[in-house]
């Protein structure tokens, strides 16, 4: 049985970038009514680095210091909905472990490639291996509303998990959904599998009372991620929801290039769902 914990976890460092991320966290707490767990990590440096630089090592973060830092950004009335967790170790394995055992709806991370944020490779691995959805946001892109959601469609991907989360956000925010796909082969649009799949998704969402439309971008010879990124830039939605798929390599740790490009190349929030995440029961959408 899938248990809806109504909690989210936000990974941040108590610095300037962290303050900007806290403002995004407050938006989700107030609009979704969730409890927010602020998570920070004291990373253990390699032994040689520790030996040569131990005098310059940063002061350890504690839950008390994390709470004091949060108080400087979050209003006092909202602070009661925030909890604090500090871990020690390597941040990527710790975050993956938290995603599995923490009981969170989703994990919020910074994708702006700042000093305290996960780097591109780490974020891709987290998205690919997380046991809960990952919301990748840009610290310099304020989230004030979610009224338009874009769902890129790939015929090779399963859609059930993605659509249930799309339903969740669309109903919570009264948002409109645009289903978009790039047809890069020289085919008739209405005879393509992409068109049939997109129309099927539209029908499912419409039956759930969600306003949605389909956009098939016929661009033979172009790269799919570039076509979709150009569309996102023109439409300027408030969120992208995408289902990931795993590209095979020796370590099996890379998400698909299409997903990676979308996550890192646009500043708007990108909500990712992968194959590790349990499907939400269909009946949950009827309770919204």
107-122 tens-digit pLDDT: 999 999 877 789 999 9
- Among residues 52, 39, 122, the alpha carbon closest in space to that of 88 is found at 39
- Among residues 170, 132, 125, the alpha carbon closest in space to that of 151 is found at 170
Rg from Cα positions in the chain: 20
Distance CA 47, CA 57 (A): 12
Beta strands 270-273; 134-137: pairing state: antiparallel
Identify the weakest region by mean pLDDT among 30-34, 67-71, 160-164, 259-263.
160-164
Beta bridge partners of 83: 37
Q: Would the pLDDT of 201 be above 70?
A: yes
Q: Which residue has the higher pLDDT, 184 or 128?
A: 128
Beta bridge partners of 183: 218
The whole-model pTM stands at: 0.86
pLDDT at 198 (0 to 100): 85
Q: pLDDT digit string (tens) for 137-192? A: 998 898 999 999 999 987 555 556 678 888 999 999 999 999 998 887 777 877 77
């Amino acid at each position: 049985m899938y248990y809806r914990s109504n909690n989210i976890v936000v990974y941040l460092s108590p610095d300037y970038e962290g303050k900007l991320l806290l403002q995004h966290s407050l938006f989700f707490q107030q609009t979704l009514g969730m409890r927010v767990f602020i998570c920070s990590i004291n990373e253990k440096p390699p032994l040689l680095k520790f030996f040569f630089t131990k005098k310059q090592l940063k002061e350890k973060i504690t839950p008390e210091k994390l709470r004091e830092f949060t108080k400087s950004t979050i209003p006092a009335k909202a602070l009661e909905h925030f909890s604090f967790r500090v871990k020690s170790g390597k941040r990527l394995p710790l975050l993956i472990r938290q995603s599995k055992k923490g009981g969170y709806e989703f994990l919020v991370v910074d994708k702006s490639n700042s000093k305290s944020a996960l780097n591109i490779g780490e974020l891709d691995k987290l998205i690919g291996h997380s046991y809960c959805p990952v919301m990748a946001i840009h610290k310099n892109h304020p989230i004030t509303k979610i009224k338009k959601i874009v769902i890129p469609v790939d015929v090779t991907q399963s859609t059930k998990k993605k659509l249930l989360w799309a339903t969740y956000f669309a109903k919570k925010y009264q948002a409109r959904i645009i289903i978009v796909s790039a047809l890069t082969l020289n085919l008739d649009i209405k005879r393509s599998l992409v068109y049939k799949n997109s129309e099927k998704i539209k029908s499912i969402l419409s039956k759930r009372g969600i306003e949605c439309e389909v956009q098939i971008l016929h661009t033979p010879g172009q790269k799919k991620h570039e076509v979709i990124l150009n569309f996102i830039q023109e439409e300027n939605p408030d969120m992208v929801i995408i289902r990931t798929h795993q590209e095979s390599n020796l370590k099996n740790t890379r998400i698909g290039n299409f997903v990676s490009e979308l996550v890192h190349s646009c500043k708007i929030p990108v909500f990712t769902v992968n194959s590790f995440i349990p499907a939400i029961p269909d009946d949950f959408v009827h309770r919204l």
